[in-house]
């Protein structure tokens, strides 16, 4: 099967509005990709349950990369060939790039002497909903973690960073929340998935869209990297890649516009 273009996309602030979580401004571009049978794959910090929810709304079927590159979930029977994977869960063949959530929780539990650590695993659905300013149904999906813990920390941050690094934990911190996982990377996950697609179609073009520093490895892994403008009109200053396209509009509006530009560069027929 010839796919032509593979679209790998971050969700929050990129395909989804950062506040409302709406993707409607990108609907036209999504429909055009579906019409051309070009896959759209989330590469997000979101859990599998969260990503599945949005894919169902968009009527998009295919692989997804979850929790910042921790796992690749390929629907059973999606590829017309056999490939190596680590396990099966629900209707997926799973390639694990990170250690399980329980292991991360175990490490964080060992570090609670360094300060107060409160993770999503310690919080109720209602508490998470209040923290995220989301309704409880979305909070429940965010709580279904398989690899990465999201947590608050009160204490000496430099000490925590050192302790996490010594234990092989990858962390990011911005604003109130930290994220911690053991291994896993968006760019590596994208490369692994592209290899599978190229088994069926070696002439692929890959497109990646993201809006933050967490998307740098994703953007580096594709042929056409696109940085999406933030709602305040700026771009994340921590994304300093050369040869990256930058959207004129923010969020899903910019996503849709940039995808249509890419599709306009591809001859049909």
pLDDT range class, residue 268, cuts 50, 70, 90? low
Q: Is 10 an annotated catalytic residue?
A: yes
**Whole-number Å distance between alpha carbons of 145 and 228:** 26
Whether residue 150 is found in the same domain as residue 28: no
Whether residue 76 is found in the same domain as residue 41: yes
Pull the structure tokens for residue 268.
């049909």
Q: How far is CA 184 from CA 9, 21, 70, 161, in A?
A: 17, 25, 4, 18
- For the chain, the residue count is 269
Whether the pLDDT of residue 269 is over 70: the answer is no
How many Cβ atoms sit within 10 Å of the Cβ of residue 242? 5
pTM listed for this prediction:
0.94
Please say which residue of 181, 216, 235 terminates a domain. Answer: 181
What's the pLDDT at 237?
A: 94
Please say which residue of 131, 157, 181 terminates a domain. Answer: 181
Report pLDDT digits (tens) over 135-158. 899 899 999 999 999 999 999 999
Report pLDDT digits (tens) over 45-87. 999 999 999 999 999 999 999 999 999 999 999 999 999 999 9
Please say which residue of 122, 150, 181 terminates a domain. Answer: 181
pLDDT range class, residue 2, cuts 50, 70, 90? low
Determine the structural domain holding residue 209 and report its residue range.
Answer: 5-97+185-264
Pull the structure tokens for residue 180.
């911690």
Whether residue 91 is found in the same domain as residue 21: yes
Whether residue 200 is found in the same domain as residue 92: yes
**Whole-number Å distance between alpha carbons of 59 and 34:** 9
Q: How far is CA 199 from CA 192, 219, 221, in A?
A: 11, 22, 18
Whether residue 71 is found in the same domain as residue 108: no
């Amino acid at each position: 099967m010839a796919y032509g273009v593979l679209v790998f996309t971050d969700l929050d602030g990129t395909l989804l509005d950062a506040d409302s979580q709406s993707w409607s401004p990108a609907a036209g571009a999504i429909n055009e990709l579906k019409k051309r049978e070009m896959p759209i794959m989330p590469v997000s910090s979101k859990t599998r349950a969260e990503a599945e929810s949005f894919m169902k709304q968009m009527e998009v079927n295919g692989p997804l990369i979850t929790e910042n590159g921790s796992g690749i979930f390929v629907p059973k029977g999606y590829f017309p060939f056999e490939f190596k994977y680590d396990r099966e869960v629900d209707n997926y063949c799973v390639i694990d790039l990170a250690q399980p959530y329980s292991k991360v929780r175990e490490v964080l539990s060992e570090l609670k002497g360094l300060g107060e650590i409160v993770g999503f695993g310690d919080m109720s659905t209602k508490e998470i909903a209040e923290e995220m300013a989301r309704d409880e149904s979305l909070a429940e999906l965010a709580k279904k973690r398989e690899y990465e813990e999201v947590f608050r920390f009160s204490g000496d941050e430099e000490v925590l960073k050192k302790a996490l690094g010594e234990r092989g934990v990858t962390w990011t911190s911005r604003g109130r929340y930290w994220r911690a996982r053991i291994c896993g990377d968006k760019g590596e996950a994208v490369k692994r998935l592209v290899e599978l697609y190229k088994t069926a179609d070696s002439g692929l073009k890959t497109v990646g869209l993201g809006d933050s520093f967490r998307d740098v490895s994703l953007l580096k892994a594709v042929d056409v990297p696109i940085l999406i403008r933030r709602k305040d009109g700026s771009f994340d200053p921590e994304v300093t890649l050369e040869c990256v396209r930058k959207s004129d509009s923010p969020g899903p509006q910019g996503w849709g516009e940039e995808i249509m530009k890419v599709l306009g560069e591809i001859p049909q027929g």
